[in-house]
Amino acid sequence: MMLALSSGVSAAAEPSAGSGLPSRASAIRHLSTIAIDNFGQISPHYYRGAQPKGRDYADLAALGVKTVIDLTKDGDSQEPSLAQAVGMKFYRIPMTTHDTPSAEKVAQFLKLVDDPANGPVYVHCQGGRHRTGVMTAIYRMSNDHWTADQAFAEMKKYKYGAD
């Protein structure tokens, strides 16, 4: 999957200042209540972690998350309704941990993440390590202009490769 980190993709525009995001103090207060494994904030518009469960969806919505992006191939069949029940949109981009993401899946992912109407987004796979790590690294390199080494270092902070 590290091969996918060299994919070059152009970045979309940042959301406007009037995007309706929660205040910084409010978001910090809510961050401390998130119980999702391997949870992290990449930017004000991008959160990442493991598969949410039960109350986690309400906690994500309280952070201001508008869209959940599931990177699992055979995800929780109830997840779309759990996300929608608290006012969030849901998208699944089916991936495995064994295959490099296709150019089409990378483009679909970046289009969703970069669309101001979808943000903030929460990106996850089962454990928030491998698929989430790779796609977040691609996001970092395309949007934040990170090097592959910088992106890989962040992946390791979120347990990439740990089993």
Range 76-95 burial, b when 16+ CB lie within 10 A, else e = eeebbebbeebebbbbbbeb
Q: Is the dihedral of CA 109, 115, 9, 138 positive or negative?
A: negative
Q: Nearest Cα to 6, choosing from 148, 104, 153?
A: 148
Mean pLDDT computed over 23-51: 80
Q: What is the CA radius of gyration of the chain?
A: 15
Cα 153 from Cα 158, distance rounded (Å): 9
Among residues 161, 111, 104, which one has the least CA distance to residue 131? 161
Q: Which of 22, 8, 39 is nearest to 110 (CA)?
A: 8
SS3 59: helix
pLDDT in tens, 63-97: 999 999 999 998 889 999 999 999 999 999 999 98
DSSP, collapsed to helix, strand or coil, labels residue 67 as strand
Whether the Cβ atoms of residue 71 and residue 93 lie closer than 8 Å to each other: yes
pLDDT at residue number 158 = 87
Is pTM, for the whole model, over 0.85?
no
Ordered by where they begin, the domains of the chain are 21-157 (3.90.190.10)
Contact in structure between 97 and 1 (CB atoms under 8 Å): yes
Q: How many CB atoms lie within 10 A of CB 121?
A: 26
Condensed to tens digits (0 to 9), the pLDDT of residues 94-150 reads: 999 888 999 999 999 999 999 999 999 999 999 988 999 999 999 999 999 999 999
pLDDT given for residue 160 in this prediction: 82
pLDDT band at 22 (very low <50, low <70, confident <90, very high): low
